[in-house]
Structure 1
Amino acid sequence: MAKILEIAGATLIDGTGRAPMEDATLRIVDGRIAASWQHADRPRDAAAPADEVVQAQGRTVIPGLIDSHCHISYGEGKSAEEVDIYGGPEWAAVRAVWNANKVLQSGFTSFCDPGSTWNVAVTCRDAIESGMFPGPRIFAAGRHIAADGGFADYFPGWLGMPVSAEGVLCSTLEQMRKEVRMQVKNRVDLVKISGDSQAQDRDCNAGPCMSDDEMAGIVQAAHALGRKVTIHSRYAKTVAAAARAGVDWVIHASYMDPADIGLLRDRQVPVCPTMTYTANIVQHGRDVGVDPNYIETKQRELDSLVTVHRRSIEAGVPMMAGSEAGFSVTPYGQWHSREIELMVELLGMKPMDAIVAATSGNARAFGWDRQVGSLLPGLWGDCVILDGDPLKDIRVLGDARRILAVYKGGVAVDRTPVAPRRRMGHERSLAVSTSVLTR
């Protein structure tokens, strides 16, 4: 027997950008959306009575939100060592599935992990998909592929790249292609490139850590095996090289040359600005002891992000919404929707456009637009019931008191708060640290 859920009487925002549907009913059959209609205009093929009817008059229903930048393996670390070394893979994996439930409870029914220590994101994804633990749908990458002197190659040269690190060091094109093949063997959905060079931190006119041939070789190898590719790319020359190489989306593009906006627009390469991490350091860094010099650095980056991406949006570059949750300044379950707010507050996007970026826009970039991201027939019944109208006040999305219910595949999510976190011994020793991983 089919299980039928109906959410009735709500204002429906379907995630496509179309005008909201007033007094709407959403019908979910066996976890998939079957139909939606207004008033009493029930379709003939929806005549069978529902097993459960949720009365949502005066409420708003939106698609389950998607965070395109959430590092579930990082464990809210304060330093590179805490993220990359301490704890081991077993602890990181158990902690990840526990934290993933916080993400789900906040209304984010899917997320992309664009770079994981060990292979934790894939493990977390598979544990959730098998029904072992509650959590969002996860689009999972492995370790960042980094060249010598690249962004993720931040440990001393004499130490090299630990096997636990978020990055994996590849010094030749053949090593990079081999790493792509190995990651695909280990079941990743996405390949992440660590594109910026450390030289760019001192001279923004310097080039990326990889040659054009190396970057294109990674993209070609991944695409040939049916995988998407994204790239950490703050600086102008890295962004342009990535677009030419054919990456599926770029992350940050903080200092993108305005002259290259047309390149991204013409190729329809989406940008995931990831402002939340940067804005949190700027706005709250002094309260938690972040180095004032680093706060100034992030203020300059935020200013540049806002300037260049206002122009990107005007030009028609697709935008994605990702918070970079997983650090001490972006804890799980608390800041995911802040990126959507910043798209409205800082980038000047209309609330509807920001919601589309965080639903169908993100899903389209992943290649998931026939599964999630909008409330259209045939897609999974992932949705959120809100007490309020996010088109009038986008902050509704981040207010836990106004998130009345979350559904994943038509099943209500248990939103009972998870137990308080108990710190492990190595974390207690680090609790006094106020350093933030320089990213």
Structure 2
Amino acid sequence: MAPHSDRTDSFVTRDASEKPKLSKTLPPRNVKWIEDVSWDTSLQPKDYELQGTHPDSKILFLNVNILDSTGREPYLGDVLIEGQRITYVGTVPNVDELRKDSKVRVFHGRGRTLMSGLGDAHTHFTWNGGDLDRLGDLGVEEHTLLTMRSAQCFIDSGYTMCFGAASAKDRLDVVIRDAINAGDIPGPRYLANGKEMARRDGELVAGITAFADGPDEMREVIRHHVDLGVDNIKLSMSGEEITEIRSAQDCYFTDEETAACVDEAHKHGKRLCAHARARDSVKMCVRHGVEAIYHASYIDDEGMDMLEAAKTKHIVAPAINWLIATLNEAEAFGYSHAQAEKVGYKRELDAAIVGLREMHERGIVVLPGGDYGFAWTPHGTYARDLEHFVKLLGFTEHEALIAATAGVAKLMMRSDDLGKIQPGFFGDCILVDGDPLDDITILQDHSKLNIICINGRVHKAGRKEYIPPPVAGQDHNNHVIVPDMDYPDVERAMQKQY
């Protein structure tokens, strides 16, 4: 069956060079938009618990600049985590007794920023940072180790929440999710996916695709994935320019197939996400209720109106860094700028920027994350999305951070206990040496992520974090003098080409 095509240039065509200019002090507009998103409780994912946190554990952050992701401006205070959860924020009762208690792990913030761990709305743990076409041939043992390293790379990068967007092998996402939850390997909280499903004439990479044609076969594939234990279902609905045979403007699904996929997934309590660059793909997602729309580059005016009318039922995760890097940074890997522009990546990037700016202005929830794990979008660089949101898409720094914290928590359907620094929320947080509201790019510098906590336990903290700052004259100057030496971190290559 021939694909539906957008090639009438009917996508949103306003000027991509007209960047919105907003004051950094503007209250973040997307707080309410995120709060308004609501999905049926029958679609609530399983309430996974991360093992390994001792119930008597206490972590006390003193004198931190609290960025709580509620929309409030940051403020100085203390934060106490007991067991898995945050118990006090701002003012901590009995703080003097706690700081003297040898059983309490005390961190001196010295004005650094304490914020929620970050979230990624379009995660591929199983992508290898190299040749995606060969992932299907990679042995399951090697692929499992590679996927474990990706999961650790996310948490090392300050990411404590990830929404799975497709797995290169049927059970890899599920197995890694379960190992993280069991405390066997480090990684973020994760909602797992299976292989992305595509028609036999519409796949992007054959070796990592589950094929199905027609509503009945698609229902069978979805039931298969449900039986594997996935949390999300991925549809590959449109093409991708890098294939050079399936354009991003082409839609390969029909309305009947999309409706059948949504119906079958929802019967089993699963939400869907879709690779939907094409105009018609986006409209099908909105018309039939695919919750997470990926890319949406070629949305047209009708699709924009449809999406705005249904904005409490959808999020958009554009994976904007893929377009930017493929156009401008893939040359070293053999894919030239000229070739990328020739097949249409500049055209798509320009269209995507315009459309995403308009979505943000209309109150449609746009979340960061996506398609990291390719050679020129390597694991560990996930926070580049936040810079693009600010520099290209009309977000303020505060709005970008809200999207990456409270926004991804909403996508996880965990707004009541993830994504904010609030009493009762899980102790998932990062201490940043600087102010990301002043410079959003600081989150790309792992050396500035001084402390990373998940579920009330410390994943990362440097040697100096355990040394109380000396006070002149204390103990008649008999206190231990600790040399102020820097011990360089051992940098590990998190991903290697296969």
State the TM-score, normalizing by the size of structure 1.
0.87
1:323 and 1:338 in contact (8 A); partners too: no
CA distance 1:19–1:178, change in 2 (3 Å): same
1:11 matches 2:58: no
Pairing partner for 1:234 from 251, 274, 277: 277
Alpha-carbon distance, 1:18 to partner:
2.2
Deviations 1:287-327 (A, max 9, x none): 33313444212222211111111111111110111131111
CA distance in 2: counterparts of 1:177 and 1:283, whole angstroms: 39
CA distance in 1: counterparts of 2:437 and 2:494, whole angstroms: 35
Between 1:171-180 and 1:292-301, the stretch displaced more is: 292-301
Partner SS for 2:259: helix
Partner SS for 2:293: strand
CA distance 1:196–1:390, change in 2 (3 Å): same
Pairing partner for 1:35 from 88, 95, 98: 88
The aligned counterpart of 1:330 is 377
Amino acid at match of 2:208: E
CA distance in 1: counterparts of 2:427 and 2:98, whole angstroms: 18
The aligned counterpart of 1:175 is 217
Taking CA–CA contacts closer than 8 Å with sequence separation of 6 or more, which of the two structures ends up with the larger relative contact order? 2
Alpha-carbon distance, 1:67 to partner:
1.2
The aligned counterpart of 2:156 is 105
Residues 92-131 of structure 1 correspond to what in structure 2 (within 5 A)?
Answer: 92-118=143-169, 119-131=171-183
Amino acid at match of 1:299: K
1:261 matches 2:304: yes
CA distance 1:174–1:365, change in 2 (3 Å): same
Pairing partner for 2:422 from 376, 384, 401: 376
Alpha-carbon distance, 1:202 to partner:
7.3
Alpha-carbon distance, 1:42 to partner:
3.5
Q: Could you say what the CA RMSD is over the residues aligned between the two structures, in angstroms?
A: 2.4
CA distance 1:203–1:413, change in 2 (3 Å): closer
Alpha-carbon distance, 1:197 to partner:
4.9
Pairing partner for 2:316 from 271, 280, 287: 271
Deviations 1:49-72 (A, max 9, x none): 361221102200110001112211
The aligned counterpart of 2:123 is 70
2:328 and 2:337 in contact (8 A); partners too: no
1:190 and 1:228 in contact (8 A); partners too: yes
Deviations 1:119-177 (A, max 9, x none): 2111111111111111111111101111232243x54xxxxxxxxx3211111211111
Residues 280-299 of structure 1 correspond to what in structure 2 (within 5 A)?
Answer: 280-296=325-341, 297-299=344-346
CA distance in 1: counterparts of 2:57 and 2:246, whole angstroms: 60
Of structures 1 and 2, the larger Rg is shown by 2
1:196 matches 2:241: no
CA distance in 2: counterparts of 1:423 and 1:323, whole angstroms: 19
CA distance in 2: counterparts of 1:206 and 1:343, whole angstroms: 23
The aligned counterpart of 1:408 is 454
Partner SS for 2:277: strand
Pairing partner for 1:220 from 239, 254, 263: 263
Structure 1: any 5+ residue segments left out of the alignment?
A: 156-164, 428-439
Structure 2: any 5+ residue segments left out of the alignment?
A: 1-54, 462-488
CA distance 1:349–1:198, change in 2 (3 Å): closer
Amino acid at match of 2:144: A
The aligned counterpart of 1:387 is 433
The aligned counterpart of 1:147 is 199
2:63 and 2:76 in contact (8 A); partners too: yes
1:102 and 1:418 in contact (8 A); partners too: no
Moved over 6 A (4+): 198-206, 421-424
Deviations 1:348-384 (A, max 9, x none): 2001110111111111122122332112222210001
CA distance in 2: counterparts of 1:356 and 1:391, whole angstroms: 11
Residues 14-25 of structure 1 correspond to what in structure 2 (within 5 A)?
Answer: 14-20=68-74, 22-25=75-78
Partner SS for 1:12: strand
The aligned counterpart of 2:387 is 341
The aligned counterpart of 2:404 is 358
Between 1:355-364 and 1:287-296, the stretch displaced more is: 287-296
Alpha-carbon distance, 1:392 to partner:
0.9
Alpha-carbon distance, 1:26 to partner:
1.5
Pairing partner for 2:293 from 247, 250, 257: 250
CA distance in 1: counterparts of 2:404 and 2:184, whole angstroms: 27
CA distance in 2: counterparts of 1:277 and 1:299, whole angstroms: 12
2:317 and 2:370 in contact (8 A); partners too: no
**Matched-pair identity in %:** 28
CA distance in 1: counterparts of 2:353 and 2:495, whole angstroms: 38
CA distance in 1: counterparts of 2:68 and 2:183, whole angstroms: 27
CA distance in 2: counterparts of 1:345 and 1:63, whole angstroms: 22
CA distance 1:316–1:295, change in 2 (3 Å): same
Deviations 1:248-279 (A, max 9, x none): 11000011113321211221121101111221
State the TM-score, normalizing by the size of structure 2.
0.77
CA distance in 1: counterparts of 2:64 and 2:218, whole angstroms: 50
The aligned counterpart of 1:315 is 362
Amino acid at match of 2:415: D
Amino acid at match of 1:411: R
Deviations 1:215-272 (A, max 9, x none): 1111121122111111000011110111111011100001111332121122112110
